[in-house]
Amino acid sequence: MKKIDFSKYNNNNYYFGNPLKRILWYFINMFFFKTMLPFPYSFKAFLLKIFGAKIGKNIVIKPNINIKYPWFLTIGDNCWIGEGVWIDNLDEVITGDNVCISQGAYLLTGSHNYKKESFDLIVGKIILEEGVWIGARAVVCPNVTCKSHSILTVGSVATTDLEPYSIYQGNPAVFKRKRVII
Mean pLDDT value of segment 26-51: 97
For the four alpha carbons of 17, 19, 22 and 24, in that order, the dihedral sign comes to negative
Q: What is the band of 13 on the pLDDT scale with cuts at 50, 70, 90?
A: confident
Q: What is the band of 178 on the pLDDT scale with cuts at 50, 70, 90?
A: very high
pLDDT at 159 over 90: yes
Please report the pLDDT score of residue 133 as a whole number: 98
**pLDDT per residue as tens digits for the range 51-83:** 999 999 999 999 999 999 999 999 999 999 999
Please report the pLDDT score of residue 12 as a whole number: 85
* d(C-alpha 16, C-alpha 96), whole Å: 24
Is the link from the previous residue into 38 a cis peptide, with omega within 30 of 0?
no
For the chain, the average pLDDT equals: 97
**Mind listing the domains of the chain with CATH numbers?**
16-178 (2.160.10.10)
Buried (b) or exposed (e) across 39-50, using 16+ Cβ within 10 A? eeeeebbebbee
User: What is the CA angle 80-55-132, rounded to 5?
Assistant: 40
Closest Cα partner for 167 from 61, 154, 159, 110? 154
Please report the pLDDT score of residue 67 as a whole number: 98
**pLDDT per residue as tens digits for the range 94-151:** 999 999 999 999 999 999 999 999 999 999 999 999 999 999 999 999 999 999 999 9
Please report the pLDDT score of residue 10 as a whole number: 87
Please report the pLDDT score of residue 93 as a whole number: 98
